[in-house]
Amino acid sequence: MGVAAAGAAFSGALSAGATGQRPVAGLLAPAYEAARLMRQRRRVLLGADRPLWRGGGGTLLVAAVLMVGVVPLGNWTLADLGVGVVWVNAVDVLVWAAAWMLGWGANSAHALVGAHRYLAQALSYELPLMFALVAPAVAAGSLRVGDIVAAQSQLWFVVWMPASFALFCACVLAFSLWGPFSTGSGPDLAGGVLAELSGVDRLLVLAGRWALLAAGSAVAVALFLGGGAGPLLPAWAWSLLKTLLVMAALVVLARRLPLLRPDRLAEVGWLVGLPVALAQLLVVSLVVLGRS
């Protein structure tokens, strides 16, 4: 959560810099917005499917927590499942559900179109994401995240599977419904799935997106960047530090890209992303075969 807040503050500072204000003022922007939303009333919408609509934001936060659950923080893991990598992918699908709940539940045309967009986007990024996740698992010979971290004691996976790492980072932005992948809440839809949300409902969604970005960064660190491996500092500190750095890099990168409309994204995801992910997987598999 702290990582998510730091990321939000960093992004606020960058935005402020872009609009010609003092970046320091931007650091506090997320705090201002949180306070504003805590003071704002929730709305009661006509004909809305209230449980679904109100549950969407909470679902995003829960998904982020579930995802972090399998990531080792140094030597300590909340739940080191034997199928940790599959778990991460399953949680990502939970995000689809949350996006759809937000869009469908509001009984609003703009929110519904936003939900459609997020699902269309998911179809584009999901397969590249799956194969990008498979590469470190194949290399480590295990689906347990702890084993994957241990397998990187000699050499971080990012060194010999950079394509998988890059794809995974792009997919982290995608399942955070954020940055260039936020067409479903874009300005052309008056906020899309966010269009009808106010007060604490809105706060949950915004916080959930940042939490997912933080969780995704933590997963990237465990799978590709050697987890807590590093000199001097204890393992947990390295995990945190790397997560912060990955998140900062993602925030900077995301600001450089325009919105990727789902119709354009499908082309990239299936004609570029998927072949690249498979080629990388082939290379990794051959290396593993050669070793054994």
Partner 1 sequence: MGLTRARGPKAWLKGTALKRPRYLVVAEPGRDLTRLALERVAAERGWVMAHSPAEADALITCGPLSGELAAAAEVVWEQLPGPRARVDVDSPTGVESSLGHVLERLADDDFQCRDATTRPQEQPSDTGHAYTDKSDHGGMDQGGMDQGGMDQGGMDHGGMDMSGPGGIALASGGEDRDGLEMDVLHVQLGPVLGLWPSGLVVTVTLQGDVVVDAHAHHLDEAAAPERVDARVAACERAARILALAGSRYAAAAVRLRDALQMGTEVGSADTGRQIDLDGELAGLLARVQRSRTLRWSLRGLGDLKDDQIEKAGLPAGDQGDVHDRLIASLRLAADPVAAAPTSYGHRHRAVEALPSLLIGRELAEVRLTVASLDLESRGVFPEPEHGPDAGGADAAGGAVAAEAVA
The residues of the shown chain that bind partner 1, judged by CB under 8 A, are 15, 18-21, 25, 28-29, 31-33, 35-36, 38-49, 106-113, 116-117, 180, 182-183, 186-191, 194-199, 202, 255-261, 263-264
Per-residue CA distances from 6 to 2, 13, 200, 241, 270 (Å): 6, 11, 20, 12, 33
Q: Which two tokens stand for residue 118?
A: 């997020």
Q: How far is the CB of 174 from partner 1 (least distance, A)?
A: 14
State the residue for tokens 């940042």: 210
Q: Determine the residue type at 221.
A: V
Residue (138 or 190) nearer to partner 1, CB: 190
Q: How far is the CB of 109 from partner 1 (least distance, A)?
A: 4
Q: Determine the residue type at 231.
A: P
Q: How far is the CB of 74 from partner 1 (least distance, A)?
A: 35
Question: 73 by DSSP, 3-state: which?
Answer: strand
Q: Identify which of 5, 3, 24, 2 has the alpha carbon closest to the alpha carbon of residue 13.
A: 24
* Contact assessment for residue 26 and residue 17, using Cβ atoms and an 8 Å cutoff: yes
Residue (139 or 260) nearer to partner 1, CB: 260
Q: How far is the CB of 155 from partner 1 (least distance, A)?
A: 33
Residue (32 or 76) nearer to partner 1, CB: 32
State the residue for tokens 């007060």: 199
Compute the Cα dihedral for 56, 59, 64, 67 and give only its sign: negative
Q: How far is the CB of 193 from partner 1 (least distance, A)?
A: 11
CB count within 10 Å of CB 188 equals: 12
Residue (25 or 276) nearer to partner 1, CB: 25
Residue (42 or 75) nearer to partner 1, CB: 42
Q: How far is the CB of 100 from partner 1 (least distance, A)?
A: 14
CA–CA dist 145, 127 (Å, integer): 20
Residue (97 or 261) nearer to partner 1, CB: 261
Q: Determine the residue type at 268.
A: V
